[in-house]
Amino acid sequence: MTGITGEAIARDRDWGVSARTCRRAIQSLKESGQVKVPIPGGLRSPDTLEGCLDVETDSAEMPQSLEDLIALFSVDLGKWTPECVTPKAWEVFAKIGEEMQVKVLHSLAARFKRRPTWDDLATLREALLGDITAAEDWKSERQPDLAEQGRRLVVIAPSDVHMGALCWGEETGSQNYDLQIACRDLLGSVAWLIDRASRIGRPARVLLPVGNDLLHIDNVAATTTAGTPQDIDGRYHKTFRAAVETYRTIVGWCLDFADCVDVRIVPGNHDTLSSFTVGEVLRAIYAEHPRVHVVNSPNPRTYYRWGATLLQLTHGRDEKLTDLAMIAAAEAGEDWGQCPFREALTGHYHSELVCERTGFLRRQLPSLAPPTAWGARKGFVGNKRRAMALEYDFEDGMIGSHVYTVPRG
Ligand SMILES: [Mn+2]
């Protein structure tokens, strides 16, 4: 009786008795020693119905845990997953010699559900991968990844602030302007530009050109560098201190915004000496700072390289503007040869302009200051008071800009 079960007898022989009766009979024979039940006999053979697998032990000697059941029937858990486990118990009676004995027997039944087939999973996997890939494409369009952040330079370039200038709106037909307003608008523009640029992510570096007529006058006689008298608000020393403190604040903001800050001094025609001395103070302040690099030079032009881009920084008053490209080629020939993107950032004219010729692009920055009485007399009126930030990719050159416009009123 190898592996025979009560159910098998009841089903195959059609003896007209229940499986339980047959089991009891078998058990009775076993208990009496007349029948040897081999191990692992006494088991119900797995029945594979559509989508489910039933297994059941048939005696007290059989395993009593689900894990044992799985091992005993070699149930492939890759194909089947347990759905329910049903323990069973019943009494058997046997006459051994003259004595009737009672014994409680146990069994364990379990039902397994068929897992999705590999074909189904493969199809599902392909569909999911397609969805995920599409989602990643969409994500990368909307949000540059961290590797991209490391390739990004932001140039924060307020120009022609003319701190210390005094402008009377009734006379100029524009807004009033004094030292306090200049500091307010300079800080306000930089805060706005950093906020906008930070929405894209944290850049690797900030380039901060300082100068370009940051101060309106260059000496205690209240004149430009060349000696032209100006309308001024406050004393020279007061303006100088305000310029240093304002840029100290701005550098601090830039350090919160980016990993490194590169300060480049760009002398203007109103502040040739003052921008140099402001630069020297900033250089002293940040001499030991690991993330701030100040370059200050008496040379009117300075060059900055970011990957494939060469930037020429100059106020743009003294050179012939159409010569700037050849001046850059002469002064920064090696970088010129290696950089497919060559640009000049200039100021001075208080108007925004982009001019590209033979692969050299000159970006003329707008001014944060309103017209002075002299400018109004000359008819230099109506231009918008603005400050710009420019975004450069390490390999792809300029990739964007932000513009702050001083509110009207
Ligand atoms: Mn100027």
Would you call the peptide bond into 40 cis, given omega within 30 degrees of 0 as the criterion?
Answer: yes
| Ligand 1 centroid distance, CA of 211 (Å) | 10
For residue 403, what is the enclosing H or E element? strand 397-405
In this predicted model, what pLDDT tens digit does every residue of 323-340 receive, in sequence order? 999 999 999 999 999 999
Question: Distance from the CA of 316 to the center of ligand 1, in angstroms?
Answer: 8
- Of 123-132, 146-155, 304-313, where does the model show the most confidence? 304-313
Q: Where are the beta strands (DSSP E) in 307-359?
A: 309-313, 341-346, 353-357
Above pLDDT 70, what percent of the chain? 80
CA of 336 to the centre of ligand 1 (A): 26
CA of 299 to the centre of ligand 1 (A): 16
CA distance 92 to 79: 36
Confidence of residue 132 (pLDDT cuts 50, 70, 90): low
* pLDDT score of 234: 83
pLDDT band at 130, cuts 50/70/90? confident
Q: In this predicted structure, which of 115-124, 155-164, 254-263, 303-312 has the lowest mean pLDDT?
A: 115-124
Indicate if the pLDDT at residue 393 is higher than 90: yes
Asked whether residue 48 carries a pLDDT value surpassing 80, the answer given is no
| CA 40 – ligand 1 centroid, Å | 100
Quick check: 37 pLDDT over 60?
Answer: no
Ligand 1 centre and the CA of 342: distance in Å?
23
Q: How far is the CA of 379 from the centre of ligand 1 (A)?
A: 16
| Predicted confidence (pLDDT) per residue in 49-92, tens digit | 566 777 777 655 566 688 888 888 888 888 888 888 888 777 77
Domains and CATH numbers, the chain: 6-114 (no CATH), 150-405 (3.60.21.10)
Centre of ligand 1 to C-alpha 214, Å, is 9
HSE-CB at 348 with a 13 A cutoff on CA atoms is 19
pLDDT at 141 over 50: no
**d(CA 9, ligand 1 centre) in Å:** 109
What are the distances in angstroms from CA 200 to CA 68, 205, 259, 266?
A: 58, 14, 15, 28
Whole-number Å distance, alpha carbon 149 to ligand 1 midpoint, is 34
Contact 84, 50 (CB under 8 A): no
CA of 321 to the centre of ligand 1 (A): 14
- Position 113 pLDDT exceeds 80: yes
213 C-alpha vs ligand 1 centroid, how far in Å?
5
Average pLDDT taken over every residue of the chain: 85
What does the block give as tokens for 97?
């010699």
Give the Å distance between the CA of 30 and the centre of ligand 1.
112
Q: 298 alpha carbon to ligand 1 midpoint, in Å? A: 17
The CA-atom distances, in angstroms, between 173 and each of 71, 170, 230, 244, 351 are: 94, 6, 18, 30, 17
Reply yes or no on whether the pLDDT at 3 is more than 60.
no
Using pLDDT thresholds of 50, 70 and 90, give the confidence band for residue 6. Answer: low
Tell me how far apart the alpha carbons of residues 403 and 387 are, in angstroms, rounded to a whole number.
6
Output the CA 274–ligand 1 centroid distance in Å.
13
Average pLDDT in the 94-103 region?
80
Cβ distance 269 to 315 under 8 Å? yes
What does the pLDDT look like over 236-285, one tens digit per residue?
999 999 999 999 999 999 999 999 999 999 999 999 999 999 999 999 99
| Distance between Cα 215 and ligand 1 center (Å) | 10
Q: 362: CA distance to ligand 1 center in Å?
A: 16
Q: Residue 32's pLDDT is what?
A: 60
Query: How far does residue 212's CA lie from ligand 1's centre (Å)?
Result: 6
**pLDDT, tens digit, 9 for 90 and up, residues 173-196:** 999 999 999 999 999 999 999 999
pLDDT of residue 105: 77
**Mean local confidence (pLDDT), 383-391:** 97
Centre of ligand 1 from the C-alpha of residue 216, in Å: 9
Number of continuous H segments (helices) and E segments (strands) in the chain: 12, 15
According to the 3-state scheme, what is the secondary structure of 121-140? HHHHHHHHHHHHHHHHHHHH
Q: What is the pLDDT of residue 128?
A: 73
Q: Give the tokens for residue 50.
A: 């559509």
d(CA 217, ligand 1 centre) in Å: 11
Q: What is the pTM of this model?
A: 0.65
Give the strand order in the sheet containing 302-306.
302-306, 309-313, 341-346, 360-364, 353-357
CA of 348 to the centre of ligand 1 (A): 4
Distance 76 CA to ligand 1 centre (A): 83
The alpha carbon of 363 and the centre of ligand 1 are apart by a number of angstroms equal to 15
Q: Please answer whether residues 315 and 347 qualify as being in contact, where contact means their C-beta atoms are separated by less than 8 angstroms.
A: yes
CA 346–ligand 1 middle distance (angstroms): 10
350 C-alpha to center of ligand 1: Å?
A: 8
Task: Using the mean position of ligand 1's atoms as its centre, give its distance from the Cα of residue 268 in Å.
Answer: 5
Is the pLDDT score of 152 beyond 80?
yes
pLDDT at 149: 59
CA of 193 to the centre of ligand 1 (A): 22
